[in-house]
Structure 1
Amino acid sequence: MATVTLKGNKINTLGNLPEVGATAPDFKLTKNDLSTATLENYKGKKVVLNIFPSVDTGTCAQSVRQFNKEASTLENTVVLCVSKDLPFAQARFCGAEGLDNVEMLSDFKDGNFGEKYNVTFADGPLEALLSRSIVVLNEEGKVIHTEQVAETTEEPNYKLALEAL
């Protein structure tokens, strides 16, 4: 288990993020149109996985906004925002905010993403949701940067994630 905090209180995730240099685990996530997305769909592109508990919280929403802003300047890169929010809520948020440079994906069906990337909270008030984390992949699907945010209420280090690209 990995330990992070929520407002200073310790909570645990299933484990550690994939190691830098490792091949990223494949996943099955649900797109806003209810179709399935897998890592294979993004082969040949750099991928930023912006992982968070729920787009209905201020910090999570800000991370989507920030990556949407940054994504418009990135070549051959896709930003995937992953949570357990229902695809309908994700689509409503992006529509209301006018965000179209990121792709929202949901792990609501079976939690396979959270398990494979070890980001599912194992206990605490956010149990079963996803821990705020960033995983950056190169075009070959290798992990080139990770960050599991130590305090869940804080934003990730955007600069380090983008520099890894």
Structure 2
Amino acid sequence: MAQEKTGIITFKGNPMTLLGPDIKVGDAAPEFRVVDNGLAPVTLADSAGKVRLITVVPSIDTPVCDTMTRKFNQDAAALPDSVVVYTISLDLPFAQKRWCGAAGIEKVKTLSDYQERSFGLNYGLLIKELKLLARAVYVIDQQGKVAYREIVKEVTAEPDYAAALAAAKNLV
């Protein structure tokens, strides 16, 4: 049974429950298994030795998630190749691929946690009531430690883009 955490996030002002552990800065980043737009598995280990900027959205097809992914895609263009940028959601890979094509997303790699929900459960971001992922940003260093974490308090709000990008840049 997954650990339940309350008092961390709200959705439209209503308190929500997160399932999974409370991963903090300094912790070893948990492994996960998600799939890319072609249904190929992607794990944390696949990007070992690189800085990972992982943005997490409830659904890519909603206005705030759309804005967030476009903003990180734009800002990621200035990051060196030693930084990988992932956006993870529970959207089906086919929907992610269609959205990315329409939005011109090239630097951010969209990944789907729909099969196992291992990212959501391992990072403590699966919203019990909605069966969606909470909005969050993680930066994981080259050694696999969490260097930055923001779980956005209100699911419909945007993250602190500048702080997340600064955390990633400080590691390269």
The TM-score bracket by the shorter chain reads over 0.9
User: Equivalent of 2:116, from 92, 95, 110?
Assistant: 110
The amino acid that maps onto 2:91 is D
Distance apart, 1:80 and its partner CA: 0.5
Q: 1:161 aligns with which of 151, 161, 164?
A: 164
CA distance in 1, matches of 2:97, 2:120: 21
Q: Which consecutive segments of 4 or more residues in structure 1 shift more than 6 A?
A: none
Q: TM-score, normalised by structure 1?
A: 0.95
The whole-number CA distance in structure 1 between the counterparts of 2:159 and 2:31 is 23
Q: Give the Cα–Cα distance (whole angstroms) in 2 for the partners of residues 18 and 145 of structure 1.
A: 10
TM-score for the superposition, normalised by structure 2 = 0.91
Q: Is the 8 A contact 2:26 2:145 kept in 1?
A: yes
Higher alpha-carbon deviation: 18-27 or 1-10: 1-10
2:136 to 118, 129, 133: 133
- 1:35 aligned onto 2:40: yes
Q: Distance in 2 between matches of 1:39 and 1:4?
A: 25
List runs of 5+ in structure 2 lacking aligned partners: none
- The alpha carbon displacement at 1:111 in A equals 0.8
Cα distance in 2 for partners of 1:19, 1:121 equals 18
Q: Deviations over 1:24-45 (max 9, x none)?
A: 0011001001100000111111
Tell me, yes or no, if the aligned pair for 1:32 and 1:87 is still in contact at 8 Å.
yes
Tell me which amino acid in the other structure corresponds to 1:146. R
The unaligned stretches of length 5 or more in structure 1 are none
1:1-150 to structure 2, matched below 5 A, reads 1-2=5-6, 3-15=8-20, 17-75=22-80, 76-123=82-129, 127-150=130-153
Quick one: distance in 2 between partners of 1:46 and 1:62? 23
Task: State the alpha-carbon separation in 2 of the partners of residues 93 and 141 from structure 1.
Answer: 30
Give the superposed CA RMSD: 1.0
Tell me, what secondary structure is at the counterpart of 1:101?
Answer: coil
Identical pairs, percent = 40
Aligned length, in residue pairs: 162
Q: What whole-Å deviation, never above 9, does each CA across 1:68-102 have from its counterpart, x for those lacking one?
A: 00111111111100000000000001100111000
